[in-house]
Structure formats: structure tokens, C-alpha cells
Structure 1
Amino acid sequence: MKIEPFKVEEWMNAYETQAVYNIAETCVESISLDELLELCGEERGAFLDALAGRRLTYGDIVGAPAYLQGICGLYRTIGPQQVISTHGAAGANHLLLYSLVEPGDRVISVLPTYQQLYSIPASFGAEVRLLRLRRENGYLPDPDELRRLAADGAKVICINNPNNPTGALMPKALLEEVVEIARGAGAYLLCDEVYRGLNQQEPYTESVADLYEKGISVSSMSKVFSMAGVRLGWLATRDEAALRACLSHRDYNMISCGMLDEQIAALALAHRDKVLARNIALVRRNLDLLTRWIGQNPHFSFVRPQAGTTALVEYDFDLPSVEFCKGLFRQTGAFVTPGACFEMEHCFRMGYACGTTVLEQGLEKLAAYAGGL
């Protein structure tokens, strides 16, 4: 089976560990286990003793009950039996597409987005139709265009809310319109929701798993909960056929997730309000900083993100994005992701949820680099 190179991951793999100012990172600043225990008010010795005393078996095959129950708290209608634990959101997306898509099926995906959502189905022989997100629409999907793409049916429609890399957030009315289009096409609606909950303003973001009987939500502990190191994600859906297919395919490639990882994740989910308060405060403070910087540096512009941790920043230099980002990295140690990784040019993706000092220093280097072009 042939598949396109995963551009964003290959870029991160090649340069991230050498970065001095990593403003490409998309997770909210990572948290240590000690910090998590303190934040949650958990007694350190008792928790670590319980962790160390466990026998290292497979544990709960479909997911530890406390972990699954914690995930359910992120939805309105989902029960533990409607959640499947996976190795990160990447594992969930792969499992879903591997389980649902066959050669000749029609899959519709937004672009730009995480490349899994269109390259994996294409590798399975699906007919992939792209719904391009445009700046003039605030990088929100055009429902009329989606309706046209889905007019003759679709197996899966893939969206990303909040969007990576733009930070666009679909309001409930638009999300409901997308649901009706998916329902009319008889399609599953797969929504990568890994940034859901990190809003710049207060309103709750609905999940497709709650809005649609064939809606499938994918998320993880990595971005919103600052715990990429536990390598845990999940999919949530009320569709029994999709659950059966995913569980059957899951037996072939993962069996279960790590029992110690799920115990740590269950603690964070049980105290999600405290973890989210920490992380929402950071992304709001840092986005305000980035917005001021954009206003002071006329070579750069963006559509201000409404949620998530990433921004798509455009520039007016006559340089391809890979060349721009490599030059920035080599001259200053500041690291961002080229727009070419998302099939776009004269722009780059920036992650603004790192430590505030790192963001300030990285933006300073970016301004100095731009001044020399």
C-alpha cells in the first residue's frame, strides 16, 4: 500500500529536537506528573504507590473504566460503551478510516487540516474530494460547496473543529448545517476535535458525537490536556456499526492501551476543570501577545484564531514557505511549520501555546529574521 509522505510530521521529526525557540509545538505547554498531582490536589505518595504496585498486564482491553468515564464527561450523550481508547488521536483517526473506508468509497475532507484525514483514505483507494477552506470565509467550511460535493453521496465526511492549522471554530448553527448535509448524504461525519475546549471565549463547543447519530468524535490527552507523553486518545460515537467495525479492526493492531497511562489520564479527566483552567489561561494570554505582535509587524497577517493552539500566519515575502522556515531556523533557532505541509504557500503554522517566555523570544527572532529579508 502506498501513501503520501506525512509532510507535517516529517518536518517536525527533522527539526523539532534541534529547535532553540520551538513555536511550532501544537500542544499546550506540557505538564509533569508532579505538576498534575499538585494541580489536582492528589497526595503524591499514595498515587505513586498505587501506580507502582500494579502488575503490568494488558489491563482493561477497551479502556479503564475510570478513564472512559472521564472521557464521557466531555460530551452530553456519550456513555462508556460508546468510547474506544486508542494510541493518541492519530491512532483513532487511522483506526476509524481503516475500519470504515474501502476502495471506491467517496470521502470528503476539508483542507487545510491534519493530513491523515485525506491521505489515509486516498491510500485505501477511496475517491477523495477536498473542501477548501478560504481566508475570506474565516477558514470555515462553505456549506453550499459541501452540499455540492456530497450531492451524490459519501461514505465519510471529515472535518476538524477547531481547525488545525487556522484555529477557526465552527459555530453551532454551521455545525448543525454540516450534520444535515452528512445525514442527507448518508455519510459518517468524522470530526477531529483534539483542540475542542480551548476557546478564546466562553461558549461550549458542541461535538458531532452529540449532534448526529453517525457523528464520530476523535480527541486525545495531548493538546488540550498537555499530556502527549501518555500517548492516549479516543473515538466516541453512538453508531453501533462503526463501534463494532473499529473494535474488530483494533484487535489486529493494538489490543489495548497502556494501563499506567490510562490511570494518569483518568486523574486528569477527573479534575478536568482545573487542567482546562490552567491551559485556557495560557492560550488566551499568549494569543493576545501574538495578536499584538502581528499588529506591530506589517509583513505578517492572520485571521485571529477563535480556539485551539495554532495560527496560520501569512507573510508578504516572495519566498516559498519551506525556504522561509528553513532560513528562519538556521539563522535564529526559531522553529515554525511551513504552509506547504498543509498544501498552502506564503504562510506558516505557529503554535502559540508554549511557555510565554518561549513565545516572546521566538517572535523576537522572527521579527529580526524578517527585518533582514
Structure 2
Amino acid sequence: MKIKPFAVEEWMNAWEVGAKYNIAETCVDSISMNELFELTGEDKTEFLNRLCARRLSYGDIEGLPEFRKGVCGLYKTLNIENIVPTHGASGANHHVFYSLISPGDRVVSIMPTYQQLYSIPESYGADVQILHLSKENNYLPDLEKLRRLVTPETKMICINNPNNPTGALMSEQMLREIVEIARSADAWILCDEVYRHLSQEDDWCPSIVDLYEKGISVSSMSKVFSLAGLRLGWIATHDMSVVKSCLSHRDYNLVSCGVFDEMLAAAALKHSDKLLERSRKIVRENLQILDNWVSSEPHVSYVKPKAGTTALVYYDLDIPSYEFCEEMYKKTGAFVTPGDCFEVPHSMRIGYAYGKQDLIDGLKAISEYIAMKTR
């Protein structure tokens, strides 16, 4: 199988270690186990005693029930049999395509988004059609264009809500319209929802699985819950044929997730409200910092994110984004992601939820670099 290089991950792998100001990170500021127990009020000693007494077998093959129950609490209509644990959301996305998509299947995906959503089905020989999101439309899908791309042969529509890298957020009404388009072709909707609930408002963030019988939600413990080190995600769907296929294919490449990972995630999800409150506080305060900087820096512009942890920021210098970001990194230590990783030239993705002081210092360094190039 041939697949295109994963541009954003290759960039992160090459430069993240050693960055002075990391404002490319997409997780909400990561926490330690000590911080997790302090925040949730869980009894650390009792938990560690249970963990240390547990035999290190494969554990619950279909997933620890307490973990899957915790995941169900993030949705309105799911039971534990609707949840398939995976190795992170990246593992979940890959596993959905691996389980459901065959050569020649028509898949409609958006761009810009996380590259998995179009490069993986393409590598399986799918007929991948791209719906380009535009700055002029606030990076929301043009539904008329989507209707034209979806044919009776369409097997799956892939969306990302909130969007990475732009922070655009589709409303429930828009999601329902996409559902009707998918239903007309009897197509699945795969929605990468790893940033779901990280909104700037307190309203409930709808999930595709609560709106559509063939909706498939992918998420993880990484972004919202600041626990990327667990490498634990999930596939959620009402479509039991999808669950059956995913579990069958799982026997070949996963078997089960880690005992430790699922126990700790279950403890965290018992207090998802506390973790979410922390994360929302961080993204809201930090987005205000980013917004103030964009307003004060004459050489950059953006569509202000509605949710998530990332923003796509354009600059007006005539420098390719890889060159811009690499030279800036070497001269100032500011680490961002080139927009060309998402096929959006003359832009950069900024992750604004990693740490407040890193964000402040990193934005200052970007301004210093721009000033250096515009003298």
C-alpha cells in the first residue's frame, strides 16, 4: 500500500523536540497523573493499589466497561455496545477506513482537515472527492457543492467538527442538513470530533451519532482531556454493522487496548465535567490572547475560531510557509505548523491551548520575525 507522507505529523516529528516556544501543539495543556487525581478528587492510593494488584493480561478485549460507560456520558443516545476503543483518535480514523472502505468506493472529504480523512481512503484505492472549505465561507462546507459531490455510489462523507486547523464549528442545523445529504445516498458520515466540547460558548455541542443512524464519531482522551499520553481513543456509532466490522478487523491489528490506559481514562471520565471546565477556561482565555495579537499585528489575519485549540493564521509576506516556519523556528524558537501541511499556502496553524506563557512569548517571537523580514 502506498500512502502520501503525513505532512503535519512529519513536521511535528522533525521540530517539536527542542522548540523554545511550542505554539504548534494541539492538545489542551497536558496534565500529570498527580494533577489528574487532584483535579478529580479520585483516591490516588486506592486507584494505584487496584492497578498494581491487577494481572497484566490483555484485559477486556472489547474495552473496559467503566471506560466505555464514561465515553457514553459524552453523548446523548449511546450505550457501551456502541463504543469500540482504539489506540488514539488517529487509530480510530484509520480503523474505520480499514474496516469499511474498499477500492473504488466513493468517499467525499473536506479540505483543509486532518490529512487522515482523505489520504487513508485514497491509499485504499477509494474514489476520493474533495470539498474545499474557504475562508470567505468561514471554513464551513458549501452544502450545494456537497450535494453535487455525493452520488448514489457514495459510501462515506468525512467531516471534522470542530475543524482542525481552522477552528470552524458546524451548527446542529448544518449537521442535520449534511445528514439528509448522506441519507439520500445511504452513506456513512465519519466525523472526527476530537475537539468537540472545546467551544467558546456553554451550549451542548451536538455529535453526529446523536443525529444520524449511520453517523460515526471518532474522538480520544488527548485533546479535550489533556491525556494524550494514554494513546486511547474510540469509535462510536449506532450502526451495529460498523461495530461488528470494526471488532472483526480489530482482531488483526489491535486485539485490545492497554489495561492501564483504560483504567485511568475511566477514572478521568467519571469527572469529565471537571476536566472540561479546566479545558474550556484555558481555550477561552488563550483565544482572547491570540485574538488581541492578530488585531495588533498588521501582517496577519484569520477567521476567529469558534471552537477547538487551533487557528489558521495568514501572513502577507511573499515567503512559502515551510520556509517561513523553519526560518522563524531557527531564528526565534517560535514553533508553528506550515499552512502547506494542509494545502493552504501563506499561512500557519497556531495551537493556542498548550500554555499561556508559551503562547504570549511565541506570538511575540512571531512578530519579531515578521518585523525582521519587513524592515
TM-score range, shorter chain: over 0.9
State the identity %.
59
Q: Which amino acid aligns with 1:17?
A: V
Find the counterpart in structure 2 of residue 20 from structure 1: 20
SS for the counterpart of 1:197 is coil
Q: Is 1:363–2:369 an aligned residue pair? A: no
User: How far did 1:18 drift?
Assistant: 1.6
1:273-292 matches, within 5 Å, as: 273-292=273-292
Q: What do you get for the CA RMSD once the two structures are aligned?
A: 0.7
User: How far did 1:153 drift?
Assistant: 3.3
Distance in 1 between residues matched to 2:267 and 2:43, nearest whole Å: 12
Find the counterpart in structure 2 of residue 68 from structure 1: 68
Find the counterpart in structure 2 of residue 323 from structure 1: 323
Matched pairs, number: 373
Q: Which amino acid aligns with 2:70?
A: G
SS for the counterpart of 2:3 is coil
1:1-373 matches, within 5 Å, as: 1-373=1-373
TM-score, normalised to structure 2's length? Answer: 0.99
Q: Which 4+ residue blocks in structure 1 deviate beyond 2 angstroms?
A: none
Q: Which amino acid aligns with 1:301?
A: S
User: How far did 1:205 drift?
Assistant: 1.2
Distance in 2 between residues matched to 1:50 and 1:101, nearest whole Å: 40
Q: Which structure 2 segments of 5+ residues have no match?
A: none
Cα deviation per residue 1:267-321 (whole Å; 9 max; x = unaligned)? 1110000000011000000000000000110101110000000000000000010
Q: Which amino acid aligns with 1:234?
A: W
Distance in 2 between residues matched to 1:89 and 1:354, nearest whole Å: 19
Question: 2:60 touches 2:256 (CA, 8 Å); kept in 1?
Answer: yes
Distance in 1 between residues matched to 2:142 and 2:205, nearest whole Å: 19
Distance in 2 between residues matched to 1:251 and 1:368, nearest whole Å: 52
User: How far did 1:48 drift?
Assistant: 1.5
Question: 2:70 touches 2:270 (CA, 8 Å); kept in 1?
Answer: yes
Cα deviation per residue 1:241-264 (whole Å; 9 max; x = unaligned)? 111111110100010000111010
Q: Which amino acid aligns with 2:98?
A: Y
SS for the counterpart of 2:189 is strand
Question: 2:105 touches 2:153 (CA, 8 Å); kept in 1?
Answer: no
User: How far did 1:225 drift?
Assistant: 0.3
Question: 2:152 touches 2:184 (CA, 8 Å); kept in 1?
Answer: no
Cα deviation per residue 1:78-125 (whole Å; 9 max; x = unaligned)? 100010000000000000001110000000000000000100000000
Cα deviation per residue 1:19-74 (whole Å; 9 max; x = unaligned)? 11100000000010000000011222222222222111110011101000000001
Distance in 1 between residues matched to 2:238 and 2:275, nearest whole Å: 27
